[in-house]
Chain A
Amino acid sequence: MEVRWEVFLIILGAALVTFIPRVVPLMILSRFELPEWGMRWLNYVPISVMAALIGQEILLNDGKFSSIANNVELFAAIPTFWIAVKTRSLLGTVLVGVISLMILRMFF
């Protein structure tokens, strides 16, 4: 149950460089009235971040393109998107996604 000194320093440093980007914009930007274009720009951030994360998760495998034929995650994404559109339920979407991949894994 020991904590090595070097590992502790790594965790402390990593925690600090993670903490700052998390809190500084909230602390500073909430003080100002942002210009209209700034608000409009921020409005697209959630869409862009989520789409970028999904794209990398589904299309890439260890930093390389997964071949389309073997990419079970890409196929599992189809029912997942469909359920998300139909039900608008986050929990339902997660469950259908996991079950889809599990079923696909049995066959491929």
Chain B
Amino acid sequence: MSTQNIQLDAIPSPKQEDSFLKGVKDCIPTLLGYLSIGLAAGVVQKTAGLSIAEIALISLMLYAGSAQFIAAGMIAVSSSPVAIIVTIFIVNLRHILLSAALSPYFRHLTPLRNMLVGTLLTDETFGVAINQTVNKQQISEKWMHGLNITAYLNWFIANIAGAFLAQWISDPDQFGLQFALPAMFIGILVISMMDRNKIKLDLVVAILAVIIAVASSFVFSGSVGVILATLIASTVGMVLEKWK
């Protein structure tokens, strides 16, 4: 790796490093998804009895869609703080896998700067970032911050707007907007698979992941299902690729 780095540094790269502004632009396709889910989260959190200040705090500090829905639901029924925190820990454990998968592309940064990159990591920004990595050895730090911060601000605004809208909207699932999130995941999945030149293997892994995620969510919780599906399906993909 170090020799590769030296070589890369020695040859002047033809392309400039992706800018902060390009990261902002590359975030645009995800904004509608974030906006609709954020609005829904704002409505749900307000209905669950959280104040506007509490909603601002939770969207800025926790910054995780599914976890915020769960927190709102559990606060509404007065669950114990420990139970809420443990549940959210499990729900958000999948970030370990996302963070690990991005790590090879941030070797050029110090641990502290890697921490800043990871702080605002979500499913969506991960998806956009990993789709950037085709034929690349690293991801631009500035670009990643542009992507992350745009998503973060949009999420905060959507949560607050949802909290104010809560008095008029009883059902945030109207207008087909709740499909923005799965549609975004579909887009990220399809685009990354088409860029990879191993469609058959990827399809096997994807179908296996769906089956495990759905089947295991009957036994465990949905979020444990996602983690199990990722661990098993990725291992099968790795083994099959070696074996072929």
A34–B182 alpha-carbon span in the complex (Å): 32
Q: What residues of chain A lie closer than 8 Å to B127, measured between beta carbons?
A: 46, 50
Given A30-B104, A56-B225, A23 contacting B99 (CB threshold 8 A): yes
User: Is B30's beta carbon under 8 Å from chain A?
Assistant: yes
Verify B123–A93 contact, CB threshold 8 A: no
Q: How many residues of B contact A (CB 8 A)?
A: 98
Write the nearest CB–CB distance from A25 to chain B, whole angstroms: 4
Verify B226–A53 contact, CB threshold 8 A: yes
Verify A26–B118 contact, CB threshold 8 A: yes
Q: What residues of chain B lie closer than 8 Å to A4, measured between beta carbons?
A: 51, 54
Verify B67–A52 contact, CB threshold 8 A: no
A101–B214 alpha-carbon span in the complex (Å): 22
Interface residues on A, range: 35 or more
Verify A13–B29 contact, CB threshold 8 A: no
Write the nearest CB–CB distance from B126 to chain A, whole angstroms: 7
Question: Which partner residue on chain B sits nearest A34 by CB separation?
Answer: B104
Given A56-B225, A80-B183, A45 contacting B230 (CB threshold 8 A): yes
A103–B242 alpha-carbon span in the complex (Å): 45
Verify B234–A1 contact, CB threshold 8 A: no
Write the nearest CB–CB distance from A80 to chain B, whole angstroms: 5
A105–B174 alpha-carbon span in the complex (Å): 9
Verify A63–B222 contact, CB threshold 8 A: yes
Within 75-132 of B, Cβ neighbours of A (below 8 Å) are at 75, 81, 84-85, 88-89, 92-104, 106-107, 109, 111, 114-115, 117-119, 121, 123, 126-128, 130
Verify A51–B95 contact, CB threshold 8 A: no
Residues of B within 8 A of A (CB): 1, 28-30, 32-33, 36, 50-54, 57-58, 61-64, 67, 71, 75, 81, 84-85, 88-89, 92-104, 106-107, 109, 111, 114-115, 117-119, 121, 123, 126-128, 130, 175-194, 202, 205-207, 209-214, 217-218, 222, 225-226, 229-230, 233-235, 237-238, 241-242
Task: Give 18 A-B contacts (CB < 8 Å), ordered by A residue.
Answer: A18-B88, A22-B118, A23-B115, A25-B96, A28-B103, A41-B234, A43-B238, A47-B193, A47-B206, A47-B234, A50-B185, A51-B209, A54-B186, A80-B187, A84-B186, A94-B29, A94-B187, A98-B177
Question: 6 other contacts beyond A8-B54, A18-B92, A33-B1, with CB at 8 A cut-off?
Answer: A1-B51, A25-B99, A42-B101, A51-B189, A52-B209, A85-B190
